[in-house]
Amino acid sequence: MASNPAPNGRTRREDLQNSIHGDLSEETSSEPLDAGALFVLKSKGSWLHCGYHLTTSIVAPALLSLPLAVAQLGWAAGVLILLVAGAVTFYSYTLLSLVLEQHALLGHRLLRFRDMAHHVLGPHWGRYYIGPLQFSLCFTAVVAGTLLAGQSMKVYLQPTNEVLEGLFADPKKEQYSARNVIPRMIFRSIVVAVGTIIAAMLPFFGDIIAVVGAFGFLPLDFVVPSVMYNITFRPSTKDFVFWINTMIATVSSILTVLGCIATVRQLTMDAKTYKLFANL
């Protein structure tokens, strides 16, 4: 029997969301303030801001490897693999959005990727796997952005900035007060300086990006979303979505292992011919 609609045209889902948001506001008020989430993760932008950041993220160092990949595969196979990867990426992040929505409805608003891993997979997965992988990927992108005139620093530094704010900012002070601005300038400058030094020091940084990409991008983009969805919703083994997710996670894990082997081998070979701070 169909349930009766809520008064004033509202649905039961909206009522549930409203009640959860109220519980979250009460719950948040009793928890210690998180400067990282308060200052860095706040969302006040429009869809134009979102589109800009997505564009600058996509048009990033990783895109420069696309011509080589297509050249090695050929036009037919290259375009086919690109379309398949795009479809799987869209599917994976649809799974992530469903997982986020489900946990929000249950009263857990997860702001960070590592928060999702902590809550869904367990605390050790968030702290010792997802977190380090994400920071490694973002920092190598910062170094590569330095090599490309800093075009993609603003977006990939966000996870690092969020952690720095959580460690050194005072959430009880204004975001742009001297107490928060001075540490922000110091530590963000240090991160950019370290990235610049590493970029100048390692002329074969493309190989390092390949290693981190093989070890990080495939698991984070394809394996983890499928696993999180299966753990959160627990679909039956008879369901099509269960086997699709399992197949994506399995194939991506195999490609991760093969990619790591190939890139480490290439890095070892190139390291014999390069010197630190070499002028290429």
**159 within 8 A of 135, measured Cβ to Cβ:** yes
**207 within 8 A of 266, measured Cβ to Cβ:** yes
pLDDT higher than 50, residue 229: yes
Q: How far apart are CA 52 and CA 114, in angstroms?
A: 24
pLDDT higher than 90, residue 269: no
Q: Does residue 55 lie within any of the structural domains?
A: no
Q: Is 1 exposed, middle or buried (0-12, 13-18, 19+ CB in 10 A)?
A: exposed
Q: Does residue 42 lie within any of the structural domains?
A: no
pLDDT higher than 70, residue 166: yes
**142 within 8 A of 153, measured Cβ to Cβ:** yes
Q: Which residue has the higher pLDDT, 156 or 127?
A: 127
Q: Does residue 33 lie within any of the structural domains?
A: no
How many structural domains does the chain have?
1
pLDDT digits (tens, 9 = 90+) for 70-116: 888 888 998 998 899 888 988 988 898 899 889 889 888 887 888 88
Q: Which residue has the higher pLDDT, 265 or 37?
A: 265
Q: How far apart are CA 60 and CA 154, in angstroms?
A: 12
pLDDT digits (tens, 9 = 90+) for 190-200: 988 888 888 77
Least confident residue range of 42-51, 100-109, 208-217: 42-51
pLDDT higher than 60, residue 9: no
Q: Could you identify the residue written with the tokens 């070499």?
A: 278
**Which pTM does this prediction carry?**
0.71
Q: Does residue 208 lie within any of the structural domains?
A: yes
Containing domain of residue 172, as a range?
61-271
Q: What is the mean pLDDT of residues 183-207?
A: 81
DSSP the chain: -PPPPPGGG--HHHHHHHHHHHHHHHHHHTSPP-HIIIIIS-----HHHHHHHHHHHHSSGGGGGHHHHHHHH-HHHHHHHHHHHHHHHHHHHHHHHHHHHHHHHTT----SHHHHHHHHT-HHHIIIIIHHHHHHHHHHHHHHHHHTTTTTHHHHTHHHHHHHHHHH--TTS-TTSHHHHHHHHHHHHHHHHHHHHHHHH-TTHHHHHHHHHHHHHHIIIIIHHHHHHHHHH---TTSHHHHHHHHHHHHHHHHHHHHHHHHHHHHHHHHTT--TT---
**5 within 8 A of 14, measured Cβ to Cβ:** no
Q: How far apart are CA 81 and CA 260, in angstroms?
A: 19
Q: Does residue 86 lie within any of the structural domains?
A: yes
pLDDT higher than 60, residue 137: yes
Q: What is the mean pLDDT of residues 3-20?
A: 46
Q: Does residue 26 lie within any of the structural domains?
A: no
Q: Does residue 207 lie within any of the structural domains?
A: yes
Q: Does residue 138 lie within any of the structural domains?
A: yes
Q: Can you give the pLDDT at residue 216? A: 81
State percent of the chain over pLDDT 70: 72
